Structure 1
């Protein structure tokens, strides 16, 4: 498989924040922003490998600034690192006051996707390589983030085993 630069996977989506997208405070629902993030990140992952993908994990989504009704939200994503069958995708969301032009980074996140075949079995993906300084910074930190994900996944499996499928949990 041919290596690909990070920029080949860039995906961008801009949406107008309308009243149905907002909460009681007139700001974008966090879940709506998370749906935009997953959507654009998945597009970036598919662009990189040109295969079907599934979301394997979403690291913490850090909401840095509120996104107000009437603003636009622009979500950008690209693949920063690959392993055999998985891809780390960095996502940045930028809000814009369309009347003043003021722009703010309102959220960042890392997601991991796995390429799959028709039977949903993992399949290999091309290696990605960074070109810009920002891409290199993200690429260099990817192994450490991957180890943190593995640890978090181990903890999640322990919680799942302990609490099971029924309530109350303390039977």
Structure 2
């Protein structure tokens, strides 16, 4: 077996501490996303450096839909397994599974599954994308399925970038009249963060996992404001990384409700980046997060309906409803295949 084949699988584990959890004791969804991205980055970087030539670092460009199947709690051990499942000439797909282990009872449960896409960037020139070493497939069908996923995500990334360039209005000033409860404006939230060295890779741009953690935090605030209850991340639709965020930039993370069903909320999260010394401002990352509301026994609660104001909010609500119906159909189809 060659060196690049042995570098295509990674297993990590870490015990969950109190500082990994939210205010009610569940492990923060953003921390799980961060662990997933770190594992993907490690296995992707190892694989791409198992060849001669410039040293490189795997840069995250997209995360496919991520399901939060079960909550994880303080004291449990998170086992993260990352495997490279497809390699094109300049990008690779990493599939990641997270399992929670109760070390007192030995019980294990699959909590998360995700697929991530990376491109290898040269350490000498961050704008130079390196070639990816080939991987060994079990059969031709596996390779063909991977190629179809590659083409689909490439197209969707381009479509999403064009769709998310709109400017998000800032939240109301404290002096403004209060927004009516259950409206988009009432729960919309923004976080502003100065990118420091600890947030960054060897290339001096932000780790994808750091960005995802900030996005999950803002989405969680939006969901909590709308419901005024305990909320947890249920799933994350594709996260698209449109442009790199450099050290020293100011990132503005904005979350707003787009759709509400009886038991779930969809929240659009947009990340804009700007330099402290230059006027350039650009859309860096975009995604849709889904949250559910829970009672004190962690049982799902009905979600208050969303009050729509204006044509833009109605359009986003209708688009969110279409995504909800599509995702529900996919879950039912997957459940039937497992039976």
In structure 1, the partner of 2:144 is: none
Q: Deviations over 1:81-116 (max 9, x none)?
A: 111121111111100111112111101110110000
1:58-90 CA distance string (max 9 Å, x none) = 001111111000001110001111111211111
The Cα offsets for residues 127-163 of structure 1, whole Å up to 9 and x where unpaired, read as 113324432221110121112322454577689x6xx
Structure of larger gyration radius: 2
Higher relative contact order (CA 8 A, sep 6+): 1
The counterpart of 2:207, out of the listed 12, 29, 34, is 29
Counting only pairs closer than 5 Å after superposition, residues 110-121 of structure 1 correspond to structure 2 as 110-121=288-299
* 1:129 maps to 2:307: yes
Aligned to 2:188: 10
3-state secondary structure, aligned to 1:76? strand
C-alpha spacing 1:60/1:156, structure 2 compared with 1 (3 Å) = farther
Q: Which residue of 1 aligns with 2:260?
A: 82
Alignment partner for residue 239 of structure 2, among 49, 61, 65?
61
Task: Determine the C-alpha separation between the residues in 2 that align with 1:7 and 1:137.
Answer: 16
- SS for the counterpart of 1:129 is coil
Q: With structure 2 as the length reference, what TM-score do the two structures score?
A: 0.44
1:123 and 1:36, CA in 2 relative to 1: closer, same or farther beyond 3 A? same
Give the match's secondary structure for 2:300.
coil
Is 1:71 paired with 2:243? no
CA distance in 1, matches of 2:224, 2:233: 11
CA distances 1:9-40 after superposition (whole Å, capped 9, x unpaired): 11110000001101121111001100001000
CA distance in 1, matches of 2:336, 2:253: 33
- Partner in structure 2 of residue 141 of structure 1: 319
* Structure 1 stretch displaced more, 147-156 or 22-31: 147-156
**Matched-pair contact (CA < 8 Å) for 2:181–2:226:** no
Give the root-mean-square deviation of aligned CA atoms. Answer: 2.1
Q: Which runs of 5+ in 1 are unaligned?
A: 162-171
Contact 1:65 1:107 in 2 (8 A): yes
- CA apart distance, 1:124: 1.1
Structure 1 length normalisation: TM-score? 0.85
- Structure 1 runs of 4+ aligned residues shifted over 3 Å read 151-159
Unaligned runs of 5+ in 2: 1-179
Question: Contact conserved, 1:72 with 1:96, CA < 8 A, in 2?
Answer: yes
